[in-house]
Amino acid sequence: MNEFIEAQVALGWEQNLRSSYDVVIVGGGGHGMSTAYHLATRHGITDVAVLERGYIGSGNSGRNTTIIRANYGIPEAVRFYQRSVDLYSRLEEETGRWIMHDRKGLLWLVHGTPGTRNERARSIVNQAFGADTVYVTPEEVGEICPEVDMNAGGGEYRVTGGSYSPHAATARHDRVVWALAEGAMKRGVHVHQRTAVTGLLKDGDRVTGVMTDRGPVTAGVTVSAVGGHVSTLAAMAGVRLPIRTHPLQAFVTNHYARTFRPIVASAEMGFYVSQTPRGEMLLGAGIDSQPSYSYRSSYEFLSHCSLPAVTLLPFLRDLTVLRQWTGVCDMSVDMSPIMGYTGVDGFLVTTGWGTWGFKGIPAGGEQMAELIATDRTPELIAPFSLNRFKEDRLMFDPGSTGTTH
């Protein structure tokens, strides 16, 4: 796809890989770039290098389904993601770049009493902690999205209500990465593509930089913003993570000629759908059950995901599948992100972004930048430290990931 990148975004590539930086960020995806961007813009820290093995945004940042929402089930997560929702809505103004941010609203359908109870509870928690989710009746579901077959084809998944989050939005994933990259680069941050990190430099237990296929680079702080391959990097630092890597697939159909406004999801039936700005219907579902680093897509996924989708939204039957793809996701044990210190000096992580990383890009980067600049964990992300597993305070919130796990 050619969106005339160079004409639209002034990315100033730096050719010279210096031998030393204050901060080295491994991984040029959304979270890596956002951390660099916020270091430069909020804290004036520009002696920063972002090292990317492929091209920027080529990992999970380029493979997700671009949904931005804060309708989580636990207070800590609602507050964090609402911060991200707010930052996203200001990102175009702040960067001067059009990221195609579109506030669509998200309809989360339920099919029976347990789901109803869940979504009522979610609405209350959301409202208490700053997100505008409300519980909706079947009639209101019909008003928000007339395309939904409330009888679900006459089967057992009759729609009994749902929750609605007006704040939910989508944005163009590439443009988010590019806008952040441009903002960081024009303030002096180096972004090095095609630069693979092959090892870590250590002084005793302390991480003092990275070894790359272009030579060693020392760093005051090394940050892993790696996606599915994070365990391999962390192991080099002697850090073990509560992360298992699973593939996640998604697909788009051909162009649907009418406007489909909201994002619609059913966690019980296991799919979610939205319309891209080009008119394609974008569908996703749960992760593949096997832990794996394979980018292989499967027919089984297409059928598992399509069946509930065409049951609830019958118009999808007339569309055909255009493209299907796979990313490998760093799934944390409690389905919440892990940000901050690792117990190894000089080595920080922002990981555990699993299938929910895109929505966290602005706030994740902002908070990581503050942590790096002040050497103190900001209050907003303190609950998401790696230490929580040792301290037995998990942020267990699988019902809010929008997919089945």
Closest approach of Cβ 213 to another protein, in Å?
17
Q: How many residues bind another protein (CB under 8 A)?
A: 25
Q: Please select the residue that binds another protein; options are 195, 231, 253, 350, rule is CB under 8 A.
A: 231
Phi/psi at 163 (5° precision): -120, 150
Interface region with another protein, contact rule CB under 8 A, candidates 135-143, 201-209, 240-248, 366-374: 240-248
Q: Enumerate the β-bridge partners of residue 323.
A: 252
User: What is the identity of the amino acid at 201?
Assistant: L
The first and second tokens of residue 172, run together, are 């163009």
Shortest distance in whole angstroms from residue 203 CB to another protein: 19
Residue 291: CB minimum distance to another protein, A: 6
* Per CB under 8 A, 290 contacts another protein: yes
Smallest gap from Cβ 294 to another protein, in A, equals 6
Site for another protein in 339-398 (CB under 8 A): 389-390
In a 3-state reduction of DSSP, which class is residue 296?
coil
- Tally of CB atoms within 10 A around 146: 8
For another protein, the binding residue among 293, 315, 325, 396 (CB under 8 A) is 293
For tokens 């966690």, the residue is 267
One of 129, 229, 336, 369 touching another protein (CB under 8 A): 229
Residue 9 sits in the site that holds another protein (CB under 8 A): no
- Residues 87, 92: Cα–Cα separation, whole Å: 10
- Backbone phi, then psi, for 205, in 5-degree steps? -90, -15
Q: Which of 65, 126, 224, 245 binds another protein (CB under 8 A)?
A: 245
Q: How far apart are CA 86 and CA 259, in angstroms?
A: 25
Contacts of 147 (CB under 8 A, 6+ apart): 260, 313, 314, 315
* Contact predicate 298/249, CB 8 Å: yes
CB nearer to another protein: pick between 229 and 359 = 229
Structure-block tokens of residue 357: 């990383």
State in angstroms the smallest separation of the CB of 206 from another protein: 17
Binding region for another protein (CB under 8 A) out of 56-64, 167-175, 193-201, 283-291: 283-291
Quick check: 289 binds another protein (CB under 8 A)?
yes
Which listed range, 76-84, 92-100, 254-262, 288-296, lies at the site for another protein (CB under 8 A)?
288-296
Q: For another protein, give the closer residue by CB, 20 or 292.
A: 292
Select from 193, 298, 324, 404 the one that contacts another protein (CB under 8 A): 298
Cβ 149 vs Cβ 48: under 8 Å: no
Query: Binder to another protein among 17, 196, 307, 333 (CB under 8 A)?
Result: 333
Q: Closest Cα partner for 247 from 63, 395, 397?
A: 63
Q: Which of 133, 190, 183, 143 is nearest to 163 (CA)?
A: 133
* Residue 139: CB minimum distance to another protein, A: 37
Q: Which residue has the tokens 């800590």?
A: 76
60 is an interface residue for another protein by CB under 8 A: no
Binds another protein (CB under 8 A): choice among 288, 329, 347, 401 = 288
- Tell me, rounded to whole angstroms, the distance of Cα 236 from its chain centroid: 25
Q: Tokens for 151?
A: 């009888």
Reported as half-sphere exposure (CB side, CA atoms, 13 A), residue 266 has a value of 26
Q: Which residues would be at the binding site for another protein (CB under 8 A)?
A: 229, 231-232, 235, 240-245, 288-294, 296, 298-301, 333, 389-390
